[in-house]
């Protein structure tokens, strides 16, 4: 069976947060807005000012920083006390995942408003739950995607460029991983095999990055929400979001997970490790040289790591890469979405050859 899933509505543009309730009021009148302290300081005034003319009630809850069961229960209690009927998450990944989980347990609609374009998680029907001390706990698979994903590109253009670039690293993997899953008829997180439609979005994602990625990076450096910037925000968030969820992931993300096993790479963002994993995946597939070179050139142009030194790996290279390769091939890892068997030895070779190609 083929399946594609998506948020019900995707809204993107300058000052979109000022129109939050204009689009959200079809779902209710009492909005509970969840954001951490930093994002509250950044956005509360513009949300209040922009949404004052609608016949709605806004209340704000401060997110404590961890998407844990205790925090989800605490916010759910606030929702019940306030009689809120719409949940809004504003900020980064953990805030958004908490908003999704709260909406799920209180059976309310949710609006997701990222202040960054650093990953493809916002559109998904998934929350990653941690313990109170920040250790991974479990994946909470939700029965539906968010009602609305709303991207205020004015706010996002003022975020650090490294986060946008990291988002491009995450989005870069989408097409290449989709291609593997499509060939293998693998079942994606959406619960079915990739559709033609999802494949078309994954292809558009890749083309948008290659054509607009560098201009978007420069726009972010200058804090300008240019057309190129808008296109890349859409690629990082919507195209890559539908992509990973409805076409599936493969070696790039598995190798990313492998790199989380070594201390040296803990300073890197998700998309930075995924970018290196993408190059290693292409080597693993024995993709045409021109295709691999195009990806390496793009990564170097926008500032994504293409060598192990740039990944922060210092000393004991072979030993560490054996650990990464082993972890990449753990049971249940998405690397097994390949249409043929992948072994740690194959991944090890691919990681080291990717490093040599990056150095050239
Ligand atoms: Zn990812």
| 9-156 is a CATH 3.40.50.1970 domain | yes
Active site members = 170, 253, 256, 270
Is the Cβ–Cβ distance between 155 and 209 less than 8 Å? no
Sheet hosting strand 110-114, strand order edge to edge: 9-13, 148-152, 110-114, 86-91, 30-35, 57-62
Strand partners, 30: 57
Q: Indicate the SS3 state at residue 256.
A: helix
Q: How far is the CA of 176 from the centre of ligand 1 (A)?
A: 13
Q: How far is the CA of 253 from the centre of ligand 1 (A)?
A: 6
What CATH code is assigned to 161-359? 1.20.1090.10
CA 33, CA 352: separation in Å to the nearest integer?
Answer: 46
CA 100, CA 8: separation in Å to the nearest integer?
Answer: 14
Is the Cβ–Cβ distance between 88 and 79 less than 8 Å? no
pLDDT in tens, 298-345: 999 999 999 999 999 999 999 999 999 999 999 999 999 999 999 999
Contacts of 234 by beta carbon, 8 Å cutoff, 6+ apart: 12, 151, 208
pTM, two decimals, is 0.96
Q: How far is the CA of 58 from the centre of ligand 1 (A)?
A: 32
Q: How far is the CA of 31 from the centre of ligand 1 (A)?
A: 30
* pLDDT given at position 53: 80
Contacts of 248 by beta carbon, 8 Å cutoff, 6+ apart: 177, 178, 180, 181, 186, 187, 188, 189, 194, 334, 337
Is the Cβ–Cβ distance between 351 and 321 less than 8 Å? yes
Is the Cβ–Cβ distance between 261 and 327 less than 8 Å? yes
Each residue's pLDDT tens digit in the chain (360 positions)?
999 999 999 999 999 999 999 999 999 999 999 999 999 999 999 999 999 887 899 999 999 999 999 999 999 999 999 999 999 999 999 999 999 999 999 999 999 999 999 999 999 999 999 999 888 898 899 999 999 999 999 999 999 999 999 999 999 999 999 999 999 999 999 999 999 999 999 999 999 999 999 999 999 999 999 999 999 999 999 999 999 999 999 999 999 999 999 999 999 999 999 999 999 999 999 999 999 999 999 999 999 999 999 999 999 999 999 999 999 999 999 999 999 999 999 999 999 999 999 999
Where in the chain is CATH 3.40.50.1970? 9-156
Task: Name the nearest CA neighbour of 23 among 113, 95, 103, 145.
Answer: 113
User: CA torsion sign, 158 to 135 to 120 to 357?
Assistant: positive
Q: How far is the CA of 109 from the centre of ligand 1 (A)?
A: 25
Where in the chain is CATH 1.20.1090.10? 161-359
**CA-to-CA dists, residue 317 to 200, 296, 357, angstroms:** 38, 21, 16
CA 177, CA 44: separation in Å to the nearest integer?
Answer: 38
């Amino acid at each position: 069976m083929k399946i594609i899933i998506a948020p019900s509505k995707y809204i993107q543009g300058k000052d979109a947060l000022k129109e939050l309730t204009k689009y959200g009021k079809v779902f209710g009148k009492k909005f509970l807005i969840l954001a951490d302290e930093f994002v509250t300081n950044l956005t509360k005034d513009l949300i209040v000012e922009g949404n004052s003319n609608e016949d709605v009630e806004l209340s704000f809850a401060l997110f404590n920083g961890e998407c844990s069961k205790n925090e989800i229960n605490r916010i759910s209690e606030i929702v019940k006390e306030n009689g809120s009927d719409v949940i809004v998450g504003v900020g980064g990944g953990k805030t958004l995942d908490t908003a999704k989980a709260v909406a799920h347990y209180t059976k309310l609609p949710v609006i997701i408003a990222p202040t960054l374009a650093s990953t493809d998680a916002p559109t998904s029907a998934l929350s990653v739950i941690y313990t109170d001390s920040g250790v991974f706990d479990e994946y909470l698979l939700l029965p539906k995607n968010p009602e609305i994903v709303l991207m205020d590109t004015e706010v996002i253009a003022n975020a650090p460029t490294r986060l946008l670039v990291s988002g491009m690293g995450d989005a870069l993997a989408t097409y290449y991983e989709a291609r593997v899953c499509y060939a293998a008829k693998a079942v994606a997180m959406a619960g079915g095999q990739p559709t033609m439609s999802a494949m078309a979005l994954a292809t558009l994602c890749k083309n948008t990055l290659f054509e607009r990625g560098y201009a978007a990076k420069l726009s972010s450096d200058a804090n300008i929400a240019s057309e190129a910037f808008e296109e890349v925000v859409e690629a990082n968030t919507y195209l890559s979001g539908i992509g990973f969820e409805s076409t599936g992931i493969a070696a790039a993300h598995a190798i990313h997970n492998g790199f989380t096993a070594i201390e040296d790479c803990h300073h890197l963002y998700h998309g930075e490790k995924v970018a290196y994993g993408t190059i290693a995946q292409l080597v693993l597939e024995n993709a045409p040289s021109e295709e691999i070179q195009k990806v390496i050139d793009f990564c170097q142009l926008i500032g994504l790591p293409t060598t192990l030194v740039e990944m922060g790996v210092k000393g004991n290279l072979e030993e560490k890469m054996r650990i990464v390769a082993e972890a990449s091939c753990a049971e249940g890892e998405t690397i097994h979405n390949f249409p043929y068997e992948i072994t740690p030895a194959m991944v090890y070779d691919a990681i080291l050859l990717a490093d040599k190609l990056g150095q050239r």
